[in-house]
């Protein structure tokens, strides 16, 4: 079910399109765009839900691209308590100054303990 979000202007209504609630959680994440990619992007998630995450990166990623990611839970050293996941880029938004918002859907994952 889609939730309506009411703004201060009584006539303005935005529809929440997300199927799952988001949690504002800053998890360190390493992103590689493709299994053969040599370098990774290091960032922190803005929010997560049971199906994906949103983050800000310093270089654009292509919508539809498949990413290899290691998402580390806060308060856990190294890769203890992390997810090794494959994610698909759902959307990319330019934020200016070499900053790009990226929304990703997790396709599959393995828990690293």
Confidence of residue 17 (pLDDT cuts 50, 70, 90): low
Domain borders along the chain are 22-112
Q: Which of 93, 105, 98 is nearest to 69 (CA)?
A: 105
Residue-wise pLDDT tens digits, 34-77: 555 667 899 999 999 989 999 999 998 999 999 999 999 887 66
Which residue has better confidence, 7 or 31? 31
Give the length of the chain: 113
Specify the 3-state DSSP secondary structure of 32. strand
State pTM to two decimals: 0.76
Helix (H) or strand (E) holding 91: strand 82-96
Which residue has better confidence, 106 or 40? 106
Q: Report the DSSP beta bridge partners of residue 57.
A: 100
CATH number of 22-112: 2.40.10.220
Dmax (CA) for the chain in angstroms is 51
């Amino acid at each position: 079910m889609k939730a309506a979000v009411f703004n201060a202007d009584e006539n303005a209504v935005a529809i929440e399109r997300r199927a799952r609630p988001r949690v504002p959680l800053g998890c360190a994440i390493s992103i590689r765009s493709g299994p053969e990619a040599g370098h990774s992007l290091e960032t922190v998630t803005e929010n997560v839900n049971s199906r994906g995450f949103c983050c800000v990166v310093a270089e654009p990623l292509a919508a539809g691209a498949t990413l290899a990611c290691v998402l580390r839970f806060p308060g856990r050293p190294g890769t203890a308590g992390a997810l090794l996941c494959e994610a698909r880029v759902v959307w990319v938004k330019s934020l200016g100054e070499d900053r790009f918002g990226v929304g990703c859907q997790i396709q599959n994952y393995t828990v690293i303990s």
